Amino acid sequence: AQRVTQPEKLLSVFKGAPVELKCNYSYSGSPELFWYVQYSRQRLQLLLRHISRESIKGFTADLNKGETSFHLKKPFAQEEDSAMYYCASVVGSNYKLTFGKGTLLTVNP
């Protein structure tokens, strides 16, 4: 079964510092990978998807098949980036999302 691991439950950085949220997946094939974000009192929303190769709100994520990782990065964190971040994968044509447990990012002023 596919598994998504986010090793950090909590991550705290200062404003302007770089941030990296780690995500590893277990599937050896070619999964679709996503980062979802949940801001305080808001619903879960898609931040970015690896296949689109976009940069959303300054965040990027690169798929590393060798390390089976999909880490989320931002060079200069902002206070409004404080939120819960979930990494998720979809394998094959089953279209069901498998989520990690999430990382709570706090950006301090």
Q: What is the binding site for other proteins (CB under 8 A)?
A: 4, 6, 32, 34, 43-46, 49, 86, 88, 90, 93-102
Q: Provide the minimum distance between the beta carbon of 44 and other proteins in the complex, in angstroms, as a whole number.
A: 4
CA distance 105 to 39: 10
- Minimal distance, residue 14 CB to other proteins, in Å: 25
Give the span between the Cα atoms of 69 and 4, in whole angstroms.
9
Whichever of 27 and 99 has its CB closer to other proteins, that residue is 99
Tokens describing residue 32: 């679709």
In whole angstroms, give the CA distance from residue 108 to residue 17.
Answer: 10
Nearer to other proteins, 43 or 109 (CB): 43
